[in-house]
Structure 1
Amino acid sequence: MVKERLASFICGALAACGKESVFLVDVRVKGTARISKVEVLVDTDTGISIATCLLVNRCLIDVFEESEDVKSLVGDDYELTVSSPGIGEPIMNVRQYIRHTGHLLRLQYTDQDNVMYEAVGRLLTAEVLGVAAPFIVLEPIIEGKGKKGVHSEPVRLELSCIKRAVVEVEF
């Protein structure tokens, strides 16, 4: 409940600060009874810079200080951190698929019979905004002994079937 209310407030604050291109990925609240630690993860469709994270942090601090609603959620004593999602973090916001088009993903998904599968592949397209059934197109890479990243036919996966997606680091 606290997380959802805080997320809603942060989204409104981003728009009020003129940061419409920045979207909220996740908000985490940790800490003790004495001090709360609020970690805000943000991104853009093209990647986010440290400078933009700093501007968002300053904006949120100003808005947090003026809001009694936020103080009721996190207390008077809190520590605010704004950053981008780290390597290995699962995709939490559908707009992150747009951001990671062309990258390698590791997915866990279910088929129409609710059977769980895992796949690694290159994200070719992401139709996730303004469509009735958001989906991605993934070019699976077959892994295994003696196979050096053999590509197979692209697969269309609806987002409702994807249970977990993580961007893979490529060397």
Structure 2
Amino acid sequence: MNIEQRVAELVSEKIAEIGRPDVFLVSAKMRSNGKLIILIDGDKGVGIDECVQISRYVGFKLEEEDAVKTAYNLEVSSPGIDTPLLNPRQYTKNIGRNLSIKMADGTKREGILSGLTEDAIQIEEKIKEKGKKAEIIESIIPLEQISETKVLISFK
């Protein structure tokens, strides 16, 4: 088992202990520079309190198990607005928001997330053909065809 898998287990244990089933692990990455980055999110958001509890628990357990043999920095946070959506549960909390989607084939799409299934998202895309009025089209996009999705923030 690698360190990222162990961290995922520890985060799950702590989430269960604090009684927040709406909180979930987005990612756990050990970078080559010795920084262990844990991203957590929640269906209703996540606060500093959950980050602190998970940081203390994971840090204590890793030290107790001597799981990391070199010096490292542990960072626990929620994903920033510029962080791509990595976990399918993140799509649920972003229904109704505008997304920028980079497809696996390199093309880009944009639209309002209107729904999702286990393996696809549904967006409302504005399609404009030359000389015609823009139309709103419902599109289903399989998750396997998406290489990156970001939430577009509007300051209008």
With the shorter chain as reference, the TM-score category is 0.7 to 0.9
Percent identity between matched residues is: 29
Distance 1:116 1:54, change over 3 A: same
Partner of 1:23: 24
Q: Distance between the aligned counterparts of 1:10 and 1:60, measured in 2?
A: 7
Q: Distance between the aligned counterparts of 1:101 and 1:151, measured in 2?
A: 20
Report if the CA contact (8 A) 1:17-1:59 is conserved. Answer: no
CA RMSD of aligned residues (A): 2.9
Report if the CA contact (8 A) 2:7-2:58 is conserved. Answer: no
Q: For this pair of structures, how many residues does the alignment match?
A: 153
Tell me the CA shift for residue 22 of structure 1: 1.6
Matched residue type, 2:150: V
Tell me the CA shift for residue 38 of structure 1: 1.1
Alignment pair present for 1:136 and 2:126: no
Q: Distance between the aligned counterparts of 2:82 and 2:7, measured in 1?
A: 24
Structure 1: which 5+ residue stretches go unaligned?
A: 129-133, 145-149
Report if the CA contact (8 A) 1:106-1:165 is conserved. Answer: yes
Partner of 2:139: 155
Q: Distance between the aligned counterparts of 1:20 and 1:104, measured in 2?
A: 26
Alignment pair present for 1:93 and 2:87: yes
Matched residue type, 1:7: A
Partner of 1:42: 40
Q: Distance between the aligned counterparts of 1:59 and 1:105, measured in 2?
A: 34
Q: Distance between the aligned counterparts of 2:30 and 2:74, measured in 1?
A: 10
Structure 2: which 5+ residue stretches go unaligned?
A: none
Report if the CA contact (8 A) 2:15-2:21 is conserved. Answer: yes
1:4-153 matched pairs, under 5 angstroms: 4-30=5-31, 32=33, 36-66=34-64, 68=65, 71-72=66-67, 74-75=68-69, 77-109=71-103, 115-128=105-118, 134-142=119-127, 150=134, 152-153=136-137
CA deviation digits over 1:111-145, x for unaligned, max 9?
A: xxxx54311111111223xxxxx22110113489x
Output the TM-score relative to the length of structure 2.
Answer: 0.79
Output the TM-score relative to the length of structure 1.
Answer: 0.73
Distance 1:143 1:37, change over 3 A: farther
Tell me the CA shift for residue 169 of structure 1: 1.4
Report if the CA contact (8 A) 2:123-2:140 is conserved. Answer: yes
